[in-house]
A and B are shown apart, each in its own frame.
Chain A
Amino acid sequence: MSIRTQPPPDLSRTSFLIIEDFEGMRAILRDILGRAGASRITLAASAGNAIAMLERQRYDVILCDLHLGQGKSGQDILEEARHRALLAPHAVWLMVSSEKAAEMVTGTVESRPDDYLIKPITETLLFARLSRQMAKKRALAPIEVAMREHEYLKALRLADAQLENDKPHAWDLKRLKAELAMHSGEHGMARSIYKEALDLRDLPWARLGLAKIHFNEGRFEDARQELEEITGGNRAYLEAHDWLARTLDKLGDQDGAQDVLQRALATSPRAPLRQLHLGEVAYRRGELGTATQAFQHSIDLARNTPLKSPRAYLALSQVQLDQNHTDAALKALAALSGDMADNTTAQLLAQAMQIPVRLKTGEHSMAERLAAQLAQELKTEARNLPPEAVFNLAAPLLELGDKNTAAALLGSLIGNNHEHPEYLERAQTIYTRAGLEDEGRELVQRSARAASDIMNRGVKLAREGKLGEAIELTREARAQMPNNARLLLNHAFLLIAWMERHGRQTVLNQEARTCIELARNLKPEDKRAGELLTRLELIGNDFETPA
């Protein structure tokens, strides 16, 4: 017969942060922890308070209520804390909730807490989960450290070593391993783990993993089938809904994408990126009212989070302008300026995007004045501006007769996206509509050719063994086309090839890493980024590539 009750764990040296808006619950949690000798307990009654505490100290354990009344949820705090690296690698995050919620299943490693506690919280429950999760995080901490350093290969090797003798965490480790393999472009390894899991049980996370591989490798129809297996059975699997919407987008099924997003938002509306995606789909479908609402929700939800970006503000301003709501369009731009006061690109955009609005209201001279004022800054910043903003600004500039600035904007856009036929076409259309068809063709062709010439010259120099010259070339080109994913990856490739020959250099290493991370943000589905990261990690390390 087994031991009836476990002795309480010794928590006298463990530091705790309790995030809970309800005073009674804070006291209950503190009392229970106190019974196991815990004395280093910090209490936070609100999200803002909690973030301030997390900034000040690295806690061993965070007990956080999922629902904190108005404003940020426990999930928001967790994601911000992870994003801003406010958690120690061994830190345990336990999310407290009054019921099992949809947010609790199939998140990624970045979004999952370590465990959920469903109320009522009893001593037995809390101690059992604490002991388990603290032991698990201690075992996994070295892997976490490697992941934070983006050393996925090392993390994979550590996970493998841990798997040898850690049966209780075997599936946690395998799931982690699959996600690491995805990060380093090892789709084959990830696929075999997901398949192994699916052979045992019908696991949504494994099916979602397979779907992501299909998606990243361009097999959208296969991805759709896997994802519908998950979402058809249960609308609580939110991440699968988001991926299905993305997949339907790629398949050109706008109606389907909107439907899936609205279903997911009915279950969980407090998701700024999902709202943004809904807005974009609804906008393309011409449902301007739905789009307006979704963009506004997205802005409100992201305002005090790291997810805040000019994208939703600009989209809102544009959809208002399309509906002739010029005041509302200006209001959206004012909000952008106010909410992102420390971001110079956002400030420039908040001003420049007034130009099309002023033209629509008939304030021609004001539009002209703005364009003249901003022309220089627009030219310098052109390469960093988001494509949608450039498209929306170029036509009004041509209308005002400022061909120079329009050409600088569209030329940079094409340089950054020379392999994106849809963008080339849209740029051409803008010129054609302005009665400047030939001028447009000349610009589009010249800009696209300039970019591909640089790629070709880089490859040729590299083949001739002139790595140094090739690096100089791509480095210079990068300054002109900082958002060209292929160029970034080519440049990283050259830097890595150079270091493989001449040895690791910290500065070059950092340069290559930055390029790869930027390219990954621009083109998350390109597995070359992961493969290059792995090669980069191997330089100066003697361990071999995983099988």
Chain B
Amino acid sequence: MTADPQKLDISTFLLSSIHDMKNSLGMMSAYLEDALNESGRDETSVETPARRKTAQALYEAQRVSNHLIQLLALYKIDQSFYPFDPQDQPLADLAREALARAQPLADSKGVDLDFDCPEDLYGWLDYELVFGVVVQTLHNALHYTRSRVFLSAAASETGVIISIEDDGPGFPDFLLEQGNAAQRGISFETGSTGLGLYFADVVARLHKAGDRTGQILLANGGRFGGGCFSLLLP
């Protein structure tokens, strides 16, 4: 049916390989999470080096897994067959689920992870895409923060705003500039952070209502003096 069967084979092969890798990493994450839980976390014990390394390995596995999921989603969006499916979703559930995903890393680093979100707040969003952005941003914040990461969701004048703040050194200047560049649709190639930001920007802009479009904002300062990432959805 296709003019170039060779080409189809390669893209199919790539897609199924990414799936396979993603599933393997999912299993690896589950094992590492079990290992962390089994190594005990009673009141008196401090974090042992082994536990810290396991948590670090878990973080790396999840990071790669998230990147693969993002690549798959971006590919599908680009080829216009991502099943974009925005619905009214309870943001408190989304926040709790994202925090549960980031908790092991926060524990191992001794970082205080918390959130604030009204129970009756609903956002009109594609759950999987926005969840991907939030988890990715939490992981990023945990990596750079000193002592705390805070997730919040609130109603805004034009929709909802989801923010992730920390008390680390904040985003470097080049990233703040990149954040703006991404919103102007300019491509950039610097390292792995590029993918995360690009993904967040694509996800934000898929969400539309009337003439309003979602967007991401990067800033320094905020409540805790560190980085502040915001996702605004109409």
Contacts and interface: CB of A to CB of B under 8 A. Distances in A.
Interface stretch (A41-49, A141-149, A231-239): A231-239
Nearest to B129: A100
A100 B82 contact: yes
B101 A235 contact: no
Nearest to A6: B96
B128 to A, nearest CB: 5
A168 B122 contact: yes
Nearest to B29: A120
B92 interface: yes
B1 A262 contact: yes
Nearest to A203: B86
Interface stretch (B39-47, B112-120, B169-177, B195-203): B112-120
Given A122-B100, A122-B101, A2 B118 contact: yes
A267 interface: yes
Contact of B209 (A1, A118, A200): A200
Contacts of A236: 76, 80-84
A129 B94 CA distance: 10
Contact of B87 (A100, A119, A171, A266): A171
A128 interface: yes
Contact of A233 (B80, B92, B120, B128): B80
Contacts of B90: 132, 168
Contacts of B23: 98, 119
Interface string B14-35: 0000010011001101100000
A233 B79 CA distance: 10
Contacts of A171: 87-88
Given A123-B100, A168-B122, A201-B124, A128 B82 contact: no
Nearest to B80: A234
Contacts of B72: 99
A262 B85 CA distance: 23
A486 B211 CA distance: 47
B58 to A, nearest CB: 12
A235 B80 contact: yes
B51 interface: no
Interface stretch (A101-109, A500-508, A514-522): A101-109
A267 B97 contact: no
Interface in A191-247: 200-203, 233-237
Interface size bracket, B side: 35 or more
A4 interface: yes
B82 A234 contact: yes
B208 interface: yes
A156 B130 CA distance: 34
A104 B85 contact: yes
B107 interface: no
Nearest to B69: A99
Given A124-B100, A201-B124, A102 B114 contact: no
B26 A2 contact: no
What's the dominant secondary structure at chain A's contact region?
Answer: loop
Contacts of A105: 83-85
Interface string B54-91: 00000000000000000011001000111111111010
A266 B80 CA distance: 13
Given A100-B85, A101-B83, A102-B83, A128 B117 contact: no
A267 B81 contact: yes
Nearest to A238: B83
A167 B96 CA distance: 21
Interface in B102-147: 114-120, 122, 124, 128
Contacts of B85: 100, 104-105
Contacts of A233: 80
B52 to A, nearest CB: 22
A129 B84 CA distance: 19
Nearest to B153: A2
Nearest to B1: A262
Contact of B26 (A1, A119, A202): A119
Contacts of B100: 5, 122-125
A118 B128 contact: yes
B96 to A, nearest CB: 6
A5 B96 contact: yes
Contacts of A267: 81
A211 B42 CA distance: 61
A98 B16 CA distance: 12
A167 B121 CA distance: 11
A247 B156 CA distance: 42
Contact of B208 (A101, A128, A202, A235): A202
Contacts of A125: 97, 100
B83 A124 contact: no
B114 A4 contact: yes
A258 B86 CA distance: 29
A98 B19 contact: yes
A128 B97 contact: yes
A182 to B, nearest CB: 21
A203 B116 CA distance: 30
Contacts of B117: 2
A123 B85 CA distance: 24
Contacts of A102: 81, 83
Contact of A2 (B73, B81, B115): B115
Contacts of A168: 88, 90, 120, 122
B209 A201 contact: yes
Contacts of A128: 93, 96-97
Nearest to A122: B100
A236 B128 CA distance: 16
Given A120-B29, A171-B87, A201-B86, A100 B128 contact: yes
Contacts of B86: 201, 203
A119 B118 CA distance: 26
A531 to B, nearest CB: 32
Nearest to B89: A132
9 contacts: A2-B118, A104-B85, A124-B100, A132-B93, A168-B122, A201-B86, A234-B80, A236-B84, A266-B1
Given A6-B96, A99-B19, A203-B86, 5 more contacts: A98-B22, A100-B73, A132-B93, A167-B120, A201-B208
Which 8 residue pairs of A and B lie closest in terms of their CB atoms, listed nearest first? A236-B83, A124-B100, A128-B93, A105-B85, A105-B83, A236-B81, A235-B81, A124-B97
